[in-house]
Structure 1
Amino acid sequence: MASSSPRSSPTDNPQLLPLSDGHSPLSSVIYELSQQVQTGMENMLKMISEIDQSSGGIIEDIEKCKDSALERKRTLEEDKERFQKAAYSVLDMLNNRENN
Structure 2
Amino acid sequence: MAHSPSGSRAAAPSVGEDAFTDAAAEDGGDSKLSVLLFDVSQQVQGALQNMLKMTSEIEQCGGEIEAEIERAREGVAEKCRALDDDRERFQKAALAALDILSGGRV
TM-score range, shorter chain: 0.5 to 0.7
Gaps of 5+ in 1: 1-18
Shift of 1:26: 7.4
Alignment of 1:54-65 (within 5 A): 54-65=57-68
Partner Cα separation in structure 1 for residue 32 and residue 79 of structure 2: 67
Shift of 1:50: 0.6
Alignment of 1:17-32 (within 5 A): 20=21, 21-23=24-26
Larger radius of gyration between Structure 1 and Structure 2: 2
Gaps of 5+ in 2: 1-19
Runs of 4+, deviation exceeding 4 Å: 24-33
Partner Cα separation in structure 2 for residue 99 and residue 33 of structure 1: 96
- What is the TM-score normalised by the length of structure 2? 0.59
Q: Does 1:48 align with 2:38?
A: no
Letter in 1 for 2:88: K
Letter in 2 for 1:34: L
Partner Cα separation in structure 2 for residue 78 and residue 91 of structure 1: 20
**Corresponding pairs, count:** 84
Partner Cα separation in structure 1 for residue 89 and residue 73 of structure 2: 24
RMSD, aligned CA: 2.9
The aligned residue for residue 82 of structure 1 is 85
Shift of 1:55: 2.4
The aligned residue for residue 92 of structure 1 is 95
| Structure holding more helix per residue | 2
Letter in 2 for 1:72: G
Shift of 1:72: 0.6
